[in-house]
Amino acid sequence: MWGLLLALGAFAPAVGLGLGAPGASVLGLAPPATTEAPGSTPAPRSSPAQPPAERANGTSEQHLRIRVIKKKKVIMKKRKKLTRPSPRVTARPQVTTSPAGTLNLTEKQEPGCPPLGLESLRVSDYQLEASTSQSFGLGPHRGRLNIQSGLEDGDLYDGAWCAEEQDSEPWLQVDARHPVRFSGVVTQGRNSVWRYDWVTSYKVQFSNDSRTWWGSKNHSSGMDAVFPANSDPETPVLNLLPEPQVARFIRLLPQTWLEGGAPCLRAEILACPVSDPNDLFPEASVLGSSDPLDFRHHDYKAMRKLMKQVNEQCPNITRIYSIGKSHKGLKLYVMEMSDHPEEHELGEPEVRYVAGMHGNEALGRELLLLLMQFLCREFLQGDPRVTRLLTEMRIHLLPSMNPDGYETAYRRGSELVGWAEGRWNHQGIDLNHNFADLNTQLWEAEDDGLVPHTVPNHHLPLPTYYTLPNATVAPETRAVIQWMKRIPFVLSANLHGGMNDFSYLHTNCFEVTVELSCDKFPHEHELPQEWENNKDALLTYLEQVRMGIAGVVRDKDTELGIADAVIAVDGINHDVTTAWDGDYWRLLTPGDYMVTASAEGYHSVTRSCRVPFEEGPVPCNFLLTKTPKERLRELLATGAKIPPDLRRRLERLRGRKN
């Protein structure tokens, strides 16, 4: 439908990415050895130069000297450390190392600066360069945190930057376009279903002109710091710089990598903006919004508190309710917004937004929390667009369908959560694939010529296997299905997940899936701009419910609404049904349509309905007359006298039958 597509076109663009491969341990690979970059300074390994004495349990004992700063005194202590017998570089975010082998234990590492934008694509492809690349699909533009590979080996768009194997001094370079304060680096290995490649250590260099470079130094030795990197392909590893550096360019120089593999990595750079007193560089784009909203990530308690605040601020247009609980018992809260909350008004459509089906996809969750704040605030200020929305429809906002998964992702943080952690619910179920497959059922029936006379083209029942007591159906999924059945939704969008087909075939609701961003869990710093990117589209999509026809199907004699009457449009192989009070909505693009209303026990009625280009919906009401048999059945049930017109019609029917 072109109107809906126009609405969707306003959403921030996203890149369709595949799922990654599991870690090496899944395939039972041996602990990785490392390969040093030719010509580079060797990085320290976790085993000493002389073989340590073996312990009875198969581990080895090693003494390390560490510096502990306490009350401005330097105290030298000895500590025993158990290491595995196989030499291995293990990435520990809180440790930086030097070629001399000295360890500096810093404070718990927390990224103070926001990401530069490799993952979110704010850093464009032309800002990324590399010493060499194995192929275009493994070029520097693919060295973005959490980027995913294709399903075929050698895909045009692979899952990392990989230098050529003969490259003696590999590097990946990022141009920030203006001076920034670099504070840290997050790295991952290569995402691939065919190969296992990751960097185990690297150095960092900086430049203002891409010709003269200086390195990040170790505090104790004054030598170039060598940072521990990854020990598997997917886990993000954060290293903060010993000293933040102000520069325009940054380079990552792999020093060691998985034995038998290649120097491959995905990265995000942490950097804070700085002022340019000489005005030598173009002004950096400012991420922000003029709306005074709560731009931060909200865990379960903070989300519940925020929704309560919105409800208290706008009690006459809001209601909070729960549709069920997660596997761990967290409630699935919904914010309802309308001029008459908790009431389905005759002729008023019901619309919904759902977010957080994958717990680590936090942007949709925050956009819905921002939307409810915005609607409340603008309604109080008398904004005509928002006022019309809330008086002409009933809006339901479910910001977190998978609260258990979100809590897992939230604890890791935006840059360290990775592509999969928190994606599933607490049972390990991917809610995206947990709704019943009704497509196959319908397609097979269509191939057999059974639609719509034997198998309906709407409101398909749940398959038998799906209703069994031992069916693998998550409590979150069951809660959403029951929610769909209770409320006659007309239009919906899922930010993001695969229940759109289920919703369309099992209920009246037309639903789309919206891919919001390449960054599943954007930094809080980016939320104001993401809100500006999507605010108008969120409102415009809601307004699409006005496109098409709407009306009430009534009993001609009683003028009461008829529930479950079928509304069929000639030429469209999908019908909708009326709600319990007889009202219906049918989304249609402009044009002339022949529409038929039918119900059990009634004669069908067909009429022409025209949808203009002007904003609707167009009223298209129906009055249905009961069949003689149905009228007779009702009269006999009540003991009423049969009226003359019904007696004559029954006699004519008997005559035709004889």
Per residue, what are the HEC states of 250-283?
A: EEEEEEEEECCCCCEEEEEEEEEECCCCCCCCCC
Whether 192 and 234 have beta carbons less than 8 Å apart is answered as no
Whether 626 and 604 have beta carbons less than 8 Å apart is answered as no
* pLDDT number for residue 622: 98
Amino acid at 247: A
Question: What stretches of 545-655 adopt beta strand conformation (E)?
Answer: 548-555, 566-569, 576-577, 583-587, 591-598, 605-611, 618-619, 622-624
Closest CA to 347 of 543, 544, 549: 549
Partners of 271 in the beta sheet? 182
Q: Say how far apart CA 340 and CA 474 lie, in whole Å.
A: 32
| Average pLDDT of the segment spanning 76-88 | 32
Condensed to tens digits (0 to 9), the pLDDT of residues 367-376 reads 999 999 999 9
Closest CA to 331 of 402, 426, 395, 407: 402
Query: Known catalytic residues?
Result: 515
Condensed to tens digits (0 to 9), the pLDDT of residues 25-73 reads 222 223 334 444 444 443 333 333 333 333 333 333 333 333 333 333 3
Condensed to tens digits (0 to 9), the pLDDT of residues 498-511 reads 766 888 888 889 98
Which position has the token pair 């009993």?
555
| 89 has pLDDT over 60 | no
Judged by DSSP in three states, 229 sits in: coil
| Average pLDDT of the segment spanning 379-396 | 97
- The two tokens of residue 534 are 């999507």
* pLDDT number for residue 24: 31
DSSP 220: T
| 531 has pLDDT over 50 | yes
* pLDDT number for residue 568: 96
DSSP 24: G
Which position has the token pair 């203002």?
208
- The two tokens of residue 180 are 């920034």
Condensed to tens digits (0 to 9), the pLDDT of residues 313-330 reads 999 999 999 999 999 999
Please report, for residues 276, 303, 359, 418, the alpha-carbon distance to residue 421 in angstroms, rounded to integers and kept in the order given: 39, 20, 8, 6
* Structure confidence at residue 3 as a pLDDT band (50, 70, 90): very low
* pLDDT number for residue 284: 57
Q: How far apart are the first and last CA of the chain?
A: 50
Q: What is the CA radius of gyration of the chain?
A: 31
Quote the crossing angle between the two packed helices 403-412 and 300-313, to the nearest 10°: 110
* pTM for the structure as a whole: 0.76
- The two tokens of residue 420 are 């999969």
Higher pLDDT, 281 or 648: 648
Higher pLDDT, 632 or 456: 456
* pLDDT number for residue 657: 65
Indicate if the alpha-carbon torsion angle 259, 261, 266, 269 is positive or negative.
positive
DSSP 473: -
Q: Say how far apart CA 298 and CA 426 lie, in whole Å.
A: 19
* pLDDT number for residue 414: 87
| Average pLDDT of the segment spanning 406-417 | 91
* pLDDT number for residue 283: 60
